[in-house]
Amino acid sequence: MVLRLSRHAVALCFASATVFVAMTLLEFLYFRDLSGGLASLDMRVTGFSPDEGMAWLTALGRRGGEIILVWHYLTFDLLFPALLSVTLASLILATGRRLPGFRALPAQAQALVAVVLVLPYMIADYSENIMVARLLSDFQAANPDSLSFASALIVTKFALLAIPLIVIPAFYLAGQRGR
């Protein structure tokens, strides 16, 4: 099944982009109003301090936290990490198959390369989502340690996402050069 993903790369890109746009619109048109203009924690690529995290949670209040929990973490962000991971894997396979060395690998090895490059991001993203959802659902859990851990997971998620985002254009450019 993983091997056929490259055939659906365009459709997967469209689906991922659609979900990403919906999440971004919710962030800027609704969630920022709930938090007094503060960016959601998982939008902060470089992380946040415990004070910044607490300020966001406090600005949201219980009602705002429940809204973000339901409309972000239990809907879009439940789907998005897996969808993006499948999309990235499909792009790795599609661009990798333009390279003679990658194409020469057995199909299972090609799939393994794609999974190894994408799975760490997906695990980090879901871990981060669980941590932030816990903070939103139980404000008592918010302390400097839990907020620092959530921040570290967010930074880790983006760092691990950079790996396939670098590999895909590198494979593409190497495939172009080989033609």
Encode 5-38: b = buried (16+ Cβ within 10 Å), e = exposed: bbeebeebeebbeebeeebeebbeeebeebbeeb
Share of the chain above pLDDT 70, in %: 96
Question: Is residue 148's pLDDT more than 60?
Answer: yes
Mean pLDDT of 139-164: 96
106 φ/ψ angles, rounded to the nearest 5 degrees:
-60, 155
Handedness of CA 103, 107, 111, 116 (dihedral sign): negative
Mean pLDDT of 127-146: 93
> From the DSSP assignment, how many helices (H) and strands (E) are in the chain?
7, 0
Rg (CA), the chain: 18
Helices (H), 72-143: 76-96, 100-104, 107-137
Nearest by Cα to 42 from 137, 141, 147: 147
Count of residues for the chain?
Answer: 179
Q: Per-residue pLDDT tens for 5-59?
A: 677 889 999 999 999 999 999 999 999 999 999 999 999 999 999 999 999 999 9
pLDDT higher than threshold 60 for residue 81:
yes
State the burial class of residue 60 (Cβ atoms within 10 Å of its Cβ: 0-12, 13-18, 19+).
buried
